[in-house]
Structure 1
Amino acid sequence: MAKHDQKGRRKGGPPFVMMRYDVIDSAAWKSLTPAARSIYLQIARRFNGENNGYLAASVRDLALECNVAPNTVTASINQLISVALIDRTQEGSFTTKVRLAAEYRLACIKCNRTGREASNDFRRWRPAGPATLRAEKDSDCVQPSRAGSAA
């Protein structure tokens, strides 16, 4: 039989990652690639309730955990930062004696490193407008030649 505290809540249980509806329903989340969503979940998995802002995650570890290439991890982290779902609180470094993984904070949770409230900037993020997307798409495309036109 499960043990309960004085308020009737269960004690203990396996750890889990909480995904809030406002994050999943945001335009920022919907714009992410599947790899970026996987990377977000692995970074969120490191959160224990008291260490937001100190979530250390190396590119190599994330690549192994998500079964993707290190370049994909780097691109996914940059995408997560650009849509404001995470912030980098400390840059990673790699020298001959010291290897430090970059540290992150989740934007939807209060930062334990600085004490600042959750920024929730991802809620205000919007994708580029259709005119911008069309211009980018047209610039990368090869223009088809028209049959019967004089050259």
Structure 2
Amino acid sequence: MANGRRGRSKRDLSREPGGFVAMPWLVMDSTAYLNLSHTARSLLLELARQLRPDNNGQLLASRAHLLKRGWRSADVIDRAKRELLNSELIVETVKGHRPNKASWFAVTWRLLDHHPSYDAGVQSTFRRGAYSQIQNAALSPSDGPKSI
């Protein structure tokens, strides 16, 4: 039986097989991204690693999930998560609670995929590209040298 896949037998040998993380240059060149710590950038890559065509909004950043990926400290994860939320590169779509309900997140460089379990108001307040509104506060002009 012909299934239309015969032409794909020659695989692309110029790269490793499997999936890949697609992060737009616009995101990586943004002020929001450039101001991140290395741990926040690493966590953003971990979240982007989970992306599929239909799950933006269901990304996990729990310690239990990240433990398998080499993340050991809950404090480091929380700091990086807070940094990503403040930079508006991610949005929390479902608030987690104890004992075993993890928070869900969405990256803001892609549209939010619909899911009935999102917290109320998330669909209406989500802004794609919210990270691009972040200004670089560290580059404000100084008042000049202080006189003694």
The answer, yes or no, to whether TM exceeds 0.5 is: yes
Identity value in percent: 23
Find out whether 1:62 has 2:69 as its counterpart.
no
Corresponding residue number in structure 2 for 1:105: 106
TM-score (norm 2): 0.71
What do you get for the CA RMSD once the two structures are aligned?
3.2
Mapped contact 2:95–2:103 kept (Cα < 8 A): yes
Find out whether 1:121 has 2:130 as its counterpart.
yes
Corresponding residue number in structure 2 for 1:4: 8
Pick from 72, 81, 84: which aligns with 2:85? 81
Query: Structure 2: any 5+ residue segments left out of the alignment?
Result: 1-5, 115-122, 144-148
The offset of 1:4, in angstroms, is: 3.4
Cα shift readout 1:49-82 (whole Å, capped 9, x = no counterpart): 1111111331333255243521011010010010
Corresponding residue number in structure 2 for 1:44: 48
TM-score (norm 1): 0.70
Counterpart-to-counterpart distance in 2, 1:116 and 1:3? 45
Cα shift readout 1:77-124 (whole Å, capped 9, x = no counterpart): 0100101100000111112xxx11110001000100249886201111
Counterpart-to-counterpart distance in 2, 1:4 and 1:37? 35
Give the length in aligned residue pairs: 126
Counterpart-to-counterpart distance in 1, 2:8 and 2:105? 34
Query: Structure 1: any 5+ residue segments left out of the alignment?
Result: 135-151
Counterpart-to-counterpart distance in 2, 1:117 and 1:91? 15
Counterpart-to-counterpart distance in 2, 1:56 and 1:28? 21
Task: Give the number of the structure whose alpha-carbon radius of gyration is greater.
Answer: 1
- More displaced 10-residue stretch of structure 1: 124-133 or 25-34: 124-133
- More displaced 10-residue stretch of structure 1: 76-85 or 51-60: 51-60
Counterpart-to-counterpart distance in 2, 1:91 and 1:74? 14
